[in-house]
A = this chain, B = another copy of it.
Amino acid sequence: MSFLALNLLNSGVPFSMVCAVIGLVFAFLLIAIVARASAGNERMREISAAVQEGAKAYLNRQVVTISAIAIVIFGLLFFFKDHPTAVGFLIGSFCSLTAGFIGMRIAVIANVRTTQAAATSTTSALRMAFNGGAVTGLLVVGLALLSVSIFYVFADRMVGHDMAVRSLVGLALGASLISVFARLGGGIYTKAADVGADLVGKIEQGFEEDDPRNPATIADNVGDNVGDCAGMAADVFETYAVSLIGAILVGALTLAGNPAAIVYPFVLGGISVLGAICGVLFVNVAKLKPAATLMGGVLTSAIISAILFWPATHYLFPSGITAAGVARTPTQLYFASVIGLVMTAVVVAITNYYTSMRYSPVQKIARASETGHATNIIAGLAVGQHATALPVGFIGIAILLSFHFAGLYGIAIAVMSMLSMAGIIISLDSFGPITDNAGGIAVMSNLPKEVRTVTDQLDAVGNTMKAVTKGYAIASAGLAALVLFGSYVEELKAHVTRNGEPFTFQFSLTEPKVIIGLFLGGLLPFIFTAFSMDAVGKAAGAVVREVRRQLQAKPGILTGQDTPEYGTCVDIVTKAALREMIIPALLPIVFVVATAIIKPLGPVVLGGLLVGTIVTGLFVAIAMTSGGGAWDNAKKFIEEGNLGGKGSFAHQASVTGDTVGDPYKDTAGPAINPMIKVANIVAILIIPIFF
């Protein structure tokens, strides 16, 4: 081993910490830039403050509800598992909540400034919204990298190497569980408000989006912040942390002899923070069309990472490793890491095709709207399902190749390198809700129509970006969950003995228990999303009734003489979201623990369950997020003046599609991602308790 390699081995984790800190510093610089910009006139600040207040009030109540559940689980881990795992759980939970708060805070600062910037030029609005998103991106990634590495370093010193690695699973559980709640609670909130506002506002009353006469309009804008911003930030924190931990776990379980296997994922993460910063700089200097500028940022980031991964891999593994009994060269490991970067690009391109209004799928939905509500829905459902084919095909290829290069560890590396792109990818994702809110503020403040035109144009790009990042999140989640399933099998092997001998379970498809597990696991995403959609439907119905009541009680609202009571709508949605998120969020835990406890089921059925959840979860999530994005942009396509434009019969039908797509793409679909991982992590954690 050369001097350099030894050096990087010892300094690999600190290196990633330094990169994380650089990312955080850069994020604070960006905040300064964003905050320095004008927040517009008084009316704009007022509205922004109202939205911010609603969002803060909701998140505070969400924290109380989630904390109650988290404390129970902390107690269970503390008494029935071990203390380090329980502490890890606490840290994971806390950081995931923090990520959500960051996402929300930054968004409310950025959106009103984006409105103001839109009055100047498209480019400055684009940069303002993007920089707001980039702050969240860099903060979330920095937080994830820093929390995992600090916890790992401390735990390593205090309770030893093995225990440190094991207790990281606690951190992963904390991150994932909070993320399910945040995704669901925020998702139910945002879509109940959105659907409720649209149903009465657009369809019954013919209001424009964000018409200040609509009593649900503030709730709708609050929703963008608590769902799309806070929920998404918690989600990506989770995905990042779990992928990193998954890679460490696999490295420790299958390559115990080589400490570099644990350092490598940290180093990949650290490098990509630098890549993400370059990507952000690119967006801030490029003079291209909006979509091209954003894509250029992603590409820059990927290329920088790909270049820096090469020396890092060779320094860490100068003579390669032996994985799954076969010697692997450093170049093979490098290829595994590049697969993750390529997969990011591929998934982004595919989702873009299915959800951008420039291509045929969205236009097909738009044309189907001409023959009515039902044909719009049928077309949208079909597009969502079609959109599963290519991502799943490429995931298959990625599994085959990365496994070929370095066994299960190769898959773990590919996932980690895919997730290392999260910094720049979140910047894109946040872009959507920020521009959406910016448009809302423009309309509610009666700014000139041109401002809204700019924000609308950016919003359409934002819709695609949101769909793209969801495709990215779920594809990476599918791979990360497979890595976790691999860890489950290894843990089981390491832990279970029969008659004093180590015992290896078989998970063969010819075993009925495996099939039953696949069925049970396959069921989980179906009923999880069913509960989520029910929740949105119920809460939205309550909003509709409230809006109708207000419009009837105060007819002056319609003429602008009376002001609606925005607060009651905010209150109704807040309560409904918190109440409705509990059952679906606990489903994965209940399924896994019940399968472990119920006698004729047990570890083999549980293994099948984990894989079954991954398989159907992937399809359901992609179909929902892509279908929802396509519906949304089909409506935007018509609103641009195609097929009769706004107010036409086709437009009405497209609004129905958009409304159905809302809970698909922003509540049920994206929540599958952390849900799959909660199931897998809980399974790993309960092995020593039940088996």
A contacts, CB < 8 Å to B: 195, 198-199, 203-204, 368, 371-375, 377-379, 381-386, 388-389, 392-393, 395-396, 399-400, 403, 411, 482, 485-486, 489, 506-510, 512-516, 518-520, 522-523, 526-527, 529-531, 533-534, 536-537, 540-541, 544-545, 600, 607-608, 611-612, 615-616, 618-619, 623, 655-656, 659-660, 663
Contact = CB atoms under 8 A, between A and B. Distances in A.
14 contacts: A199-B371, A371-B540, A372-B656, A373-B656, A382-B531, A382-B534, A393-B520, A399-B516, A400-B513, A485-B509, A486-B510, A507-B510, A519-B618, A523-B619
B371 A544 contact: yes
A483 B136 CA distance: 52
Nearest to A395: B519
Given A371-B540, A515-B611, A527 B378 contact: no
A534 B365 CA distance: 10
Nearest to A493: B510
A392 B537 contact: no
A655 B608 CA distance: 40
A174 B204 CA distance: 53
A199 B608 contact: no
5 shortest interchain CB distances as A-B pairs: A374-B659, A385-B530, A507-B509, A396-B516, A382-B533
Given A518-B615, A615-B612, A615-B616, A526 B623 contact: yes
Contact of A374 (B195, B392, B411, B615): B195
Given A382-B533, A526-B388, A514 B509 contact: yes
Contact of A396 (B371, B393, B486, B519): B519
Contacts of A544: 371-372, 375
Contact of A520 (B396, B486, B516, B519): B396
A402 B473 CA distance: 40
A389 B525 CA distance: 11
A510 B489 contact: yes
A542 B384 CA distance: 23
Residue of A519, A655, A659 with most chain B CB atoms under a 10 A cut-off: A519
Nearest to A388: B526
Contact of A368 (B482, B515, B537): B537
A242 to B, nearest CB: 19
Contact of A399 (B381, B384, B512, B615): B512
Contacts of A514: 509
B392 A534 contact: no
Contacts of A537: 368, 375, 378-379, 382
A388 B515 contact: no
Contact of A519 (B485, B515, B615): B615
Given A396-B519, A396-B520, A516-B400, A388 B199 contact: no
Contacts of A195: 374-375, 378
Nearest to A399: B512
A498 B377 CA distance: 52
Nearest to A623: B526
B608 A509 contact: yes
Contacts of A611: 509, 515, 518
A655 B373 CA distance: 10
Contact of A540 (B199, B203, B375, B522): B375
A392 B508 contact: no
Contacts of A204: 372
Contacts of A612: 615
A509 B506 CA distance: 8
A375 B195 CA distance: 8
B619 A530 contact: no
Contacts of A608: 509
Contact of A530 (B382, B395, B509): B382
B485 A392 contact: no
Nearest to A536: B378
A458 to B, nearest CB: 25
A507 B507 CA distance: 8
A537 B380 CA distance: 10
A278 B548 CA distance: 57
A508 B493 CA distance: 15
A527 B396 contact: no
A516 to B, nearest CB: 4
A613 B149 CA distance: 41
B616 A530 contact: no
A188 to B, nearest CB: 12
A482 B519 CA distance: 12
Nearest to A204: B372
Given A381-B660, A522-B615, A522-B619, 17 more contacts: A204-B372, A373-B373, A375-B540, A375-B541, A375-B659, A379-B537, A382-B530, A392-B523, A396-B519, A399-B515, A399-B516, A403-B512, A411-B512, A518-B615, A522-B618, A616-B616, A656-B656
